[in-house]
Structure 1
Amino acid sequence: MVIHNPSILFERIKHKEYRIPQENLVELQKQEWCLETLNNECYRPIDLLIRPLAPHLAGLYTMMSKTLATKATIPIWEGFYKPFVSEEDPDEFRILLALGPDVDGHLNTAHGGVSALMLDEAMGNMALMHTEPGTPVFTTYMHTTYKKPVPTPSVLLLRATFDGKRSAGRKLYINASLESGTGVVYTTAEALFLEARGKDGPKI
């Protein structure tokens, strides 16, 4: 049995309202399918602490907070969390994002490594929802299946879910998918995250 302990990220949902930057909101609202998440009260927008990077995380997470935070890479990266209600209504983590041309591996097609990185980020955030507050997690295994090329530029949906049946102790199994938002699944992944012990990593 896994006890659902809200992390610092979840505490922010309950105690601090996060507002999506207006520029990002306007772009996302242009996609009709994004409204299902944006207008759904079950999915609360959360501050992922990387855009801008939280002061206490200075020098960390530079891949997503700096390298891939340009207009031509991943200019939009907004997270949403639906809390766990029951086994029949489990929690889900979503990210609405925009991809630019500078992540291409082929013409108008995102590099496969970028897809894997984004899936890893989404699953890592979901893993944090199931750890003690402030405890970091590390990816120890990740299996990625590439189903279709990811077009660029594009606005996409990431989904991550927690596998409570397989998870136990410090081991957290997470599943995720990168989708078009209109039914096309581009890439899927499953991963095992390990909750850090003691001074294994920086506090989040």
Structure 2
Amino acid sequence: MAEKDHPPSAPPPTSYMSEPTADPALLDPFRAIGWSNSLLNSPDYYPIRTWSRLPKAHTGEDGFFAGTLATSSTIPHCLTLRRRNLLPPPQEVPVWPSPTATPSSAPSPIPPDIIMMVDLATPGVSGHPSTAHGGVVATLLDEAMSLAVAMHAPASGDHPRGAIYTAQLDVRYKKPLRVPGLVVVRAKVVARVGRKYWVRAQAVQEESDENNSRGRGDHLEWAKKKTVVTDAMAFWIQAAPSL
């Protein structure tokens, strides 16, 4: 199916979410950073193109993430990694964290479905000095979640899959997200009941400024402390497919 024939707001084509990419323009910026290079070297994940970074001129869809936030002063580079062996999510509604709950400051030990590596520039995404705007952070979480949902959204032969929408997004801002620098967004579908999906996502940074250091990305990169700067839960709905 050609990109122009893809139904608006529908999950990405299955081939787009499954085919590895070796495009140097996508990989090289993250090969140059120790932490992201170590993620690229993980045997459990492989890089794919990020569907929402593809401009869709015929509908204007994804214009915000593929256009407004794809400049040298906003988000010049973005790369998605998908889990190689994806397990189906539980079919039970999860317990939604209470508003007073304090999520752990350490990244979840549960392997995510999607890892989105984002190179944040300045001043285009800044809210406060050297700090990403909260709306930009929420956008990153939402975009990573959408890709996690897309990986679990059922395909049905040649029929298009139904559009997916965020119905509820609960964001907990824990620490400022420093810019410029690298942020890693981890997203996982924690439950699915029919066309309803519950998703957890975390935005993670290295605690020191070393997140921009150049390095080989060996096991020593994992010894540097990673901190969750933003934590989120969301409820997604997939519309019935149009036949």
TM-score (normalizing by structure 2):
0.70
Partners of 2:151 and 2:229 in 1: CA distance? 25
> What is the letter of the counterpart of residue 79 of structure 1?
T
Q: CA separation in 2, counterparts of 1:113 and 1:140?
A: 17
How much has 1:53 moved relative to structure 2? Answer: 2.8
> In 2 relative to 1, CA 94–61 (structure 1 residues): closer, same or farther, beyond 3 Å?
same
Runs of 4+ in 1 over 6 A off after TM superposition: none
1:36–1:185 CA distance, 2 compared to 1 (3 A) = same
The residue identity in structure 2 corresponding to 1:152 is V
Structure exhibiting the larger radius of gyration computed from Cα positions: 2
CA distance in 2, matches of 1:135, 1:79: 22
2:144 corresponding residue in structure 1: 122
Indicate yes or no: 2:63 matched with 1:62: yes
Match of residue 183 from structure 1: 226
The 5 Å alignment of 1:154-173 reads: 154-164=181-191, 167-173=192-198
Amino acid of the structure 1 residue aligned with 2:146: G
* d(CA) in 2 for partners of 1:178, 1:9: 26
User: Residue 110 of structure 1 aligns to a residue in which SS?
Assistant: coil
TM-score by length of 1: 0.82
Q: Say whether 1:75 aligns with 2:73.
A: no
- Distance in structure 1 (CA, Å) of the matches to 2:39 and 2:162: 28
Which residue identity is paired with 1:105?
G
Q: What is the CA-CA distance between 1:46 and the residue it aligns to?
A: 1.2
Q: Residues 11-26 of structure 1 correspond to what in structure 2 (within 5 A)?
A: 11-12=15-16, 14=18, 16-20=19-23, 22-26=24-28
The alpha-carbon distance between structure 1 residues 50 and 27, as it changes in their structure 2 partners (threshold 3 A), is: same
CA shift for structure 1 position 156: 1.1
CA deviations over 1:169-191 (Å, ceiling 9, x no partner): 11100000000154111101000
1:163 counterpart SS class: strand
1:85/1:49 Cα in 2 relative to 1: closer, same or farther (>3 Å)?
A: closer
Q: Secondary structure at the match of 1:25?
A: helix
| Residues 1-204 of structure 1 mapped to structure 2, 5 A cutoff | 10-12=14-16, 14=18, 16-20=19-23, 22-53=24-55, 58-82=59-83, 83-85=85-87, 92-101=113-122, 102-133=124-155, 134-164=161-191, 167-181=192-206, 182-199=225-242
Which secondary structure does the structure 2 equivalent of 1:109 belong to?
A: coil
The 1:99–1:60 alpha-carbon spacing in structure 2 relative to 1, beyond 3 Å, is same
**Which structure is richer in relative contact order (CA contacts within 8 A, separation 6 or more)?**
2
Is the contact made by 1:9 and 1:129 (CA closer than 8 Å) also made in structure 2? no
Distance 2:111 2:28 in 1: 29
**What CA RMSD, in Å, does the superposition of the two structures yield over aligned residues?**
2.4
In structure 2, the residue corresponding to 1:139 is in which secondary structure? strand
Return 154-163 or 34-43, whichever deviates more.
Answer: 34-43
Distance 2:232 2:205 in 1: 16
Report the alpha carbon displacement of residue 12 of structure 1 after superposing the two structures with TM: 3.6
Residues 180 and 70 of structure 1: is their aligned pair in 2 closer, same or farther, counting only changes over 3 Å? same
Give the fraction of aligned pairs with identical amino acids, expressed as a percent.
Answer: 28
SS of residue matched to 2:240: coil
CA distance in 2, matches of 1:85, 1:189: 21
Paired with 1:186 and 1:128, the residues of 2 have a C-alpha distance of 25
For structure 2, the 5+ residue unaligned runs are: 1-10, 90-109, 156-160, 207-224
AA in 2 matched with 1:94? I
Alpha carbons 1:71, 1:100 under 8 Å: kept: yes
The letter of the residue matching 1:18 is T
After TM superposition, give the deviation of residue 125 of structure 1 in Å: 0.8
